Structure 1
């Protein structure tokens, strides 16, 4: 995975499919957590590949403590399921420099 973009802040949330008053699904929330962790990784590490064992702690609204995200596993799983991602999710990944998005 080649990452060439270095964001100065967390990415804006990938637009979620309309779910009415319920809000984002658990899958959409998990994707957003992974995207936020990836943005932190890129900011800190640049275009260095994410090792499978990499864990990034992120701040999540409503949580008093940082939440660990197993970023290496998330990147691997997201890549293997990329055919199920919507255009907005792929665009958000591409914006962070993910070459397969």
Structure 2
């Protein structure tokens, strides 16, 4: 199984990623492993898993990761909080979110 996940960093920023392996092991890597952790997360430890979605394929998980990375912080927070009904209203006026597609959002 594959996963898309969101981590909350020590500084309050979010990191969105995906993995085709063990989700708990991947979170551990972000928190402890210098070699396999993302550069962004190494400097913002400790990290807490705040959201995860499971997918059949890594391609589907990666697609969802990129989608979420393009969202505003408010939209990510609504997803984390389970307020899915609010997600459309939190999109930009054109239906496309205003945030960059980076993997971290402050």
Return the TM-score normalized by structure 1. 0.28
Higher RCO by CA contacts (8 Å cutoff, separation 6 or greater): 1
Q: So what's the TM-score if we normalise by structure 2? A: 0.27
Decide which structure has greater helix share.
Answer: 1
Which has the larger strand fraction?
A: 2
